[in-house]
Amino acid sequence: MAEVVIVPGEAEAGELVAGAIVALIREKPDAVLGLATGSTPIATYQALARRIHDDRVDVRGVRGFALDEYVGLPPGHPEHYRAVITREVVEPLGLTPELVRVPNGDPAGIEHAGADYERAIVAAGGVDLQILGIGRTGHIGFNEPGSSLASLTRVKTLTEQTRTDNARFFDSPSDVPMHCITQGIGTILRARHLVLLAFGEAKAPAVAAAVEGPVSANQPGSAIQLHPHTTVIVDEAAASGLEHLDYYRHAWANKPAWQGI
Ligand code: GLP
């Protein structure tokens, strides 16, 4: 089962994940990070930026792969995930821009973009630590319900629920693209360590389904149960639908320190 860590809030989650990433980079200076967008990981990126700065961590060799991208947003749009990753990750952390990739959502050549991205991840030796959020539909990356658990990077149609949820980042709901390109669930499962973050009551049903529900394409997040090393970090509200809360708290309180997350 996934390890579930219940924290007071996003700041504490951020400190935990930042600690794990700094330890990874110290051991492997060209570590490959899997980067999620959305509001969930923002506090984690902020904590990581602080740690890198305060502890003078050399991140020049760190590589990154974003999970997903919208298809067909006009160049320069602030919600292009390339722009989001630059603004929220590459610049504050001081990563080398050329070493951080985002799937190419340009409609010209989109039919090859998925396979190109897969090749690039394999050529980099795979993702060491993948940060994940989870959508209210249960999606990870942009793998909406029904996505094959073996899927690789490809173009998907967004659900109306996800378009509505993400409309807050756009001037008008109709500006949210219909299509995206996303790492598949099979791609995500190849990362060596998955760290899934979720905060707030709205995420509680998706977290419960992902951690304790049946493994099903209908709940893409449930694919984490197939992975040998997944850490789920949630606040009390996002954890509120979990059945085995007492056990998760007990296991965390008694976890050998050497294990890390
Ligand atoms: C977004 C992203 C996902 C993200 C999820 C949750 O649309 N494509 O990678 O994990 O939906 O978003 P948020 O973190 O804003 O709740």
**Dihedral over Cα of 24, 26, 28, 31: its sign:** positive
pLDDT of 80 = 95
| pLDDT at residue 212 tops 80 | yes
pLDDT of 135 = 93
Q: Is 14 in the pocket of ligand 1 (CB under 6 A)?
A: no
Expressed in angstroms and rounded, the spacing between residue 41 Cα and the centre of ligand 1 is 9
Expressed in angstroms and rounded, the spacing between residue 31 Cα and the centre of ligand 1 is 23
Please give the helix or strand (H or E) that residue 132 lies within, else none: strand 129-132
Q: Which pLDDT band holds residue 76 (cuts at 50, 70, 90)?
A: confident
pLDDT of 68 = 97
DSSP of 180-239 = EEE--HHHHHTSSEEEEEE-SGGGHHHHHHHHHS--BTTBGGGGGGG-SSEEEEE-HHHH
Atom of ligand 1 nearest to the CA of 166: 7
| pLDDT at residue 240 tops 80 | yes
| pLDDT at residue 1 tops 90 | no
- CA pair distance 124, 108, nearest whole angstrom: 25
Expressed in angstroms and rounded, the spacing between residue 111 Cα and the centre of ligand 1 is 24
List, for residues 10-50, the tens digit of each pLDDT value: 999 999 999 999 999 999 999 999 999 999 999 999 999 99
Domains in the chain: ranges and CATH: 3-233 (3.40.50.1360)
Q: Whose CA is nearest to atom 13 of ligand 1?
A: 38
Q: Is 164 in the pocket of ligand 1 (CB under 6 A)?
A: no
pLDDT of 75 = 80
- CA pair distance 41, 184, nearest whole angstrom: 19
pLDDT of 99 = 98
Expressed in angstroms and rounded, the spacing between residue 37 Cα and the centre of ligand 1 is 6
Q: Whose CA is nearest to atom 1 of ligand 1?
A: 38
On average, the pLDDT of the chain sits at: 97
User: To test the ligand 1 pocket, which listed residue (35, 165, 182, 187) has its Cβ within 8 A of the most ligand atoms?
Assistant: 165
- Tell me the Cα Rg of the chain: 17
List, for residues 77-86, the tens digit of each pLDDT value: 999 999 999 9
Confirm if 62 and 129 have CB atoms less than 8 A apart.
no
Task: Provide mean pLDDT across the span 117-127.
Answer: 98
What pTM was computed for the model? 0.97
| pLDDT at residue 107 tops 80 | yes
